[in-house]
Amino acid sequence: IERAHELVSSSSSSSFQHKQGDVWVASYVKSGTTWTIGILAALVGHPAAEYAGNLQKVTSQFCPQPELPDLGFGDDGFGHSMEQLNDWSGIDIGTNNRNYRCFKSHWPSKDHVVSNGKSKFIYVLRNAQDQLISHWNQVYG
């Protein structure tokens, strides 16, 4: 985890290009981030709504997570390069003839998830006890 943090700190926050209309879904782990992204995909008619339970597919095809660096696994990995993220085409929701990009983050205090005058934020909160039990079950269950 420390190595991943170093990779992100040195590359993503300094070179990530925010665009008007970016949507960030942010939360602590196991708080419903992927579930919320599935709802967002359904609302905008994106195919990701059909596979919202598949974290890897959703992250790689609909709502990437900038703090996950590209580890060189190609389609089998979660991460994207900064070039891929900056070129991310986004989703067309038929409003104002614009595409909106969706991003996921579990590090809301990092530089790339800050008020920047361009992005909109959805912050997901969950009961702390339920979040802890869910995380425990994922790691040890």
Residue 130 has pLDDT above 90, yes or no: yes
Residue with tokens 């060189």: 72
Instruction: State percent of the chain over pLDDT 90.
Output: 6
Q: Are 21 and 101 in contact (CB under 8 A)?
A: yes
**CA 19/CA 85 separation, integer angstroms:** 11
Residue 132 has pLDDT above 60, yes or no: yes
Local structure of residue 100 (DSSP, 8 states): E
Predicted TM-score (pTM) of the model is 0.75
